[in-house]
Structure 1
């Protein structure tokens, strides 16, 4: 028997080579080195042949016509048997082994079976009722919790909105009321102050009336005299009013202050235009006459006038009238 196989790469062995190998082993001692070159592999790995790379081709090509595929049923239809007119209308009756004319009786239900059936039905109904009850409780609890959360969130939002609106309205009303009260307080304070001021003025007037009138007179005199010093036309007005107070004056002697002499000499011709009866005017300066005043003498009368005398007359008239 040989283990050689040319296709698989095995090396051939014969009996002579085995006997030689056996003798060498028998005469071999421990110090002899093994001849490793005599051992060869019984099997050498075959060399792989180079294979050309596989190229893929498209299953469908636009120039290739599609082949017609004919489908064939896997199961052939059964052939129709000849109909038997006698058995065509017969209903299917199970074969129970009893005669055909005898009716088949169902077996009676045992008490155990009946009790099982009744218990099953009752338990089934009670289980449905109990399941509904438990499911209702669980659903109610879950719905209550979710509804509470949603209601709490919605209530918080709505409550915040209403709280802001009501707070704004209350704050606005309170602000208006505060402003109104403060304004009323300020008005009351002002009214009291004005009332007190009026009372104070009345007291001051009653107490210092004479002094006040005297002060007013002094102020008026100073104001009039200051105006006379800067306005020469005042003396002209005083002379015309005095001439009109006389009855048809014809020849007059006009005495005036030294400050007004030059001014009256310059304008004395204007008096003839104002008084038609006037025929002659003799102007002279008199130290006793104050500035702005005059003294007129005719054959039958004389008249004197000055701003201070007129102011004094006005003050006396006011005192008599009780103003």
Structure 2
């Protein structure tokens, strides 16, 4: 009877295990929480890495922006310095060359005027008419000195000059030292220099005064 009782106890102690399904998590429960904690740690590490990257990127971007702004400011400053130097150089060269430019311009003007005088002999009449306006009407013995080539033109218009000026006693004197186209008027009390060279000189002086450059 005792042996039979022992056999029943052995049967009761046998544990029945259900079959394991493929793909089923067989990790003991006490280790599952540990794996979850490790996953959390990895996720936190990844999050911190991402956060660090973003902060590093932001800091690097800001630093790069500041460096770029500083570089641009320095370049602008150098550029402004170059412009200032160029303006000073331009002004210097202009002051150096202006007398030559004026001189050349006056030479060209002189040649053009003399050429016009050769082509139009009546120019001396216009110049004499303007010059004689500077003589007072009460002047006597007015002498108009002109180049011999212009003598006939003035002589042919002497009455017109008297009528326009109100002067009655006007004489003409040919003088080879006076260039064609110009004239020189003398009275007992006054002189009017209307030679071509003198008029060009007056223009020359006016330009020099206006530009404040000595030529």
How far apart, CA to CA, are the structure 2 residues paired with 1:299 and 1:207? 45
How far apart, CA to CA, are the structure 1 residues paired with 2:154 and 2:202? 26
- Asked if 1:236 corresponds to 2:125, the answer is yes
Match of 1:280 in 2: 169
Query: Which stretches in structure 1 are left out of the alignment for 5+ residues?
Result: 1-194
Q: 2:180 aligns with which of 288, 291, 301?
A: 291
Shift in Å, 1:203 = 6.8
Q: Deviations over 1:176-201 (max 9, x none)?
A: xxxxxxxxxxxxxxxxxxx9xx9797
Match of 1:269 in 2: 159
Superposition RMSD on alpha carbons, in Å?
2.4
Q: Tell me, what secondary structure is at the counterpart of 2:133?
A: helix
TM-score, normalization by structure 2: 0.52
How far apart, CA to CA, are the structure 1 residues paired with 2:118 and 2:93? 35
Q: 1:252 aligns with which of 133, 138, 142?
A: 142
Shift in Å, 1:299 = 2.7
Q: Tell me, what secondary structure is at the counterpart of 1:245?
A: coil
Q: Tell me, what secondary structure is at the counterpart of 2:163?
A: helix
Q: Tell me, what secondary structure is at the counterpart of 2:160?
A: helix
Bigger Rg, which one: 1
Shift in Å, 1:207 = 4.0
Match of 1:305 in 2: 194
Q: Tell me, what secondary structure is at the counterpart of 1:300?
A: coil
Shift in Å, 1:259 = 0.9
TM-score, normalization by structure 1: 0.36
Higher fraction of helix? 2
Match of 2:98 in 1: 209
Match of 2:109 in 1: 220
Shift in Å, 1:243 = 1.2
How far apart, CA to CA, are the structure 1 residues paired with 2:206 and 2:99? 15
Q: Deviations over 1:112-165 (max 9, x none)?
A: xxxxxxxxxxxxxxxxxxxxxxxxxxxxxxxxxxxxxxxxxxxxxxxxxxxxxx
How far apart, CA to CA, are the structure 2 residues paired with 1:201 and 1:307? 35
Aligned residues: 126
Shift in Å, 1:204 = 5.1
How far apart, CA to CA, are the structure 2 residues paired with 1:259 and 1:306? 14
Shift in Å, 1:302 = 2.6
